[in-house]
């Protein structure tokens, strides 16, 4: 097997075609991983996502440093991983975030079916507050394995 490092532009192309990733946040040195859906367009410098308020949002509000990892796996010898180190920024109703919120919602509209899983809870009668956030990309790296 050969493994090579991906260029930043290659990593961006992979993020743009990916729907599902895993986000890690940390509190008191304890990391925590949760799957997320996100939107990314190569013209942006951040990933956009949304969530109901739960452990990961509370942790990211306390410590904005996060990691997002995505994978494209064909088999044990043919796979690609991309890792983003970044910072959580919540897109509030404040005027300075209005542009980013509009941008995020335009990207979400392309993938409307996400709303259902993101909002599903064991108790569906509960009222859910939805947080829209972005992950500013500080560093991006990727590796691709192939046979030979």
Where does this chain bind a second copy (CB under 8 A)? 1-5, 20, 22, 24-26, 29-35, 63, 65-69, 71, 73, 76-77, 81, 83, 85, 113, 116-117, 120-122, 145
Q: Of 80 and 103, which CB lies nearer to a second copy in the complex structure?
A: 80
Question: Are the beta carbons of 38 and 47 closer than 8 angstroms?
Answer: yes
Closest distance to a second copy from the beta carbon of 98 (Å): 29
Q: Of 77 and 102, which CB lies nearer to a second copy in the complex structure?
A: 77
From residue 114, how far is each of 2, 43, 67, 134 by CA, in Å? Answer: 35, 22, 21, 16
| Partners of 105 in the β-ladder | none
Q: Of 7 and 65, which CB lies nearer to a second copy in the complex structure?
A: 65
Residue count of the chain: 148
Closest distance to a second copy from the beta carbon of 63 (Å): 5
Q: Of 6 and 103, which CB lies nearer to a second copy in the complex structure?
A: 6
Strands (E), the chain: 2-5, 20-27, 30-37, 46-52, 65-75, 78-90, 130-146
41: exposed, middle or buried (Cβ count in 10 Å: 0-12, 13-18, 19+) = middle
Closest distance to a second copy from the beta carbon of 145 (Å): 7
Closest distance to a second copy from the beta carbon of 91 (Å): 21
């Amino acid at each position: 097997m050969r493994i090579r490092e991906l260029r930043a532009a290659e990593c961006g192309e992979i993020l743009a075609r990916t729907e599902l990733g895993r986000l890690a946040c940390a509190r008191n040195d304890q990391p925590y991983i949760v799957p997320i859906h996100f939107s990314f367009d190569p013209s942006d410098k951040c990933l956009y996502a949304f969530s109901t308020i739960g452990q990961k949002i509370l942790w990211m509000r306390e410590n904005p440093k996060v990691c997002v990892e995505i994978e494209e796996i064909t088999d044990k010898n043919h796979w690609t991983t991309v890792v983003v180190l970044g910072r959580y920024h919540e897109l509030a109703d404040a005027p300075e975030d209005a542009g980013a919120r509009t941008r995020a919602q335009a990207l979400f509209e392309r993938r409307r079916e996400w709303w259902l899983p993101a909002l599903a809870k064991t108790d569906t009668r509960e009222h859910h507050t939805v947080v829209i956030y972005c992950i500013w990309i500080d560093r991006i790296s990727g590796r691709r394995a192939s046979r030979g």
